[in-house]
Amino acid sequence: MKKVIVIVQFICFANFVPAQQNNQIDSLKQALLSSKDDLQRIVILDNLSSEYLWSMPDTSLIYAQQELLLAKKINSPKWEARALQRYGGSLYVMGNYSLALDYSLQSLRFNEKQEDTARLINNYFGLSSIYNDIGDNDHALYYSYKGARVSELFNNKIRLSEALMIIGHNYEQANQLDSALAFTQRAYELDSTDNGKLTLGYTPYVLGNIYYKKG
C-alpha cells in the first residue's frame, strides 16, 4: 500500500511541478525582454540560472555568464559574488569540478570581503559538496563545519540543521559511521523540533544509508 501511495505522489508531482516551473521560466523570460534596468535584469538572470540548474545546467551557465557580465558592468561585488556562485553551481552539476571549485572560491572571497553571512553559508555548503564529490573528505568537512559555526553564531537554526546534515553526509561518505549517525540525528532532531515538522527531505535518506552500512 505504501509503495502505491509513493508512486501516485511521484506521478502527481511529475505532472504538476514541471508545468509550474515552465510557467515561472516563461514569466522570467518575458520580464527579461521588457526590462531596461541593469539591476533588475541581473535579478531575473539570477533566477533563470537557478531555475535551469538541475534540468539544463548548460543553460543555467549561460544565464550565469550574462549575470556576471552585468554585475561587473554596474560594479556590484554583491551580485558578482552571486553570479560566480551560480556559475560554479552550474559547472558542478555538469561535472566540471575543477572549474566549479575555482568559481566557487572566487565567490567565497567576494562574500568574505562583503561579510555577507547568508551567502557565505551557501559558499561553504557548495564547496563542501564539490570536495565531497571529488573524494577530498578533509576539505569537505572543513567547509561544512565552517557553515555550521557561522549558522550557530547567528542563531540560524534552519541553516544549522542543514550544516549538521551535510557533516553527517560527509562522515557517511567517509564510512565514519558513528560520527555520521551522531550528526545526522542532531540535524533530524533540530529540524523537526524547530520547525514542527521535517523540512530537510534528504536527512532520512542519509540516515537510511548509515543504518544500512552499519547493518
Q: How many CB atoms lie within 10 A of CB 33?
A: 8
The rounded radius of gyration (Å) of the Cα atoms in the chain is 19
Confidence at residue 183, expressed as pLDDT on a 0 to 100 scale: 97
Copy the grid coordinates of residue 151.
549558522
Confidence at residue 199, expressed as pLDDT on a 0 to 100 scale: 78
Q: Where in the chain is the domain with CATH 1.25.40.10?
A: 116-215
CA 162 to chain centre: 10
Confidence at residue 76, expressed as pLDDT on a 0 to 100 scale: 96
116-215 topology per CATH: 1.25.40
What is d(CA 138, CA 117) in angstroms, rounded to the nearest whole number?
Answer: 23
Confidence at residue 195, expressed as pLDDT on a 0 to 100 scale: 65
Burial of 104 per CB tally in 10 Å (0-12, 13-18, 19+): buried
Confidence at residue 179, expressed as pLDDT on a 0 to 100 scale: 97
Along the chain (215 residues), what's the average pLDDT of each consecutive run of 10 residues?
A: 31 40 89 96 96 94 98 96 96 96 97 92 95 95 97 93 94 95 95 78 88 91
Which overall architecture, per CATH, does domain 17-103 show? Alpha Horseshoe (1.25)
What are 153-202's pLDDT values in tens digits? 999 999 999 999 999 999 999 999 999 999 999 999 998 887 677 778 78
Confidence at residue 17, expressed as pLDDT on a 0 to 100 scale: 40
Confidence at residue 16, expressed as pLDDT on a 0 to 100 scale: 38
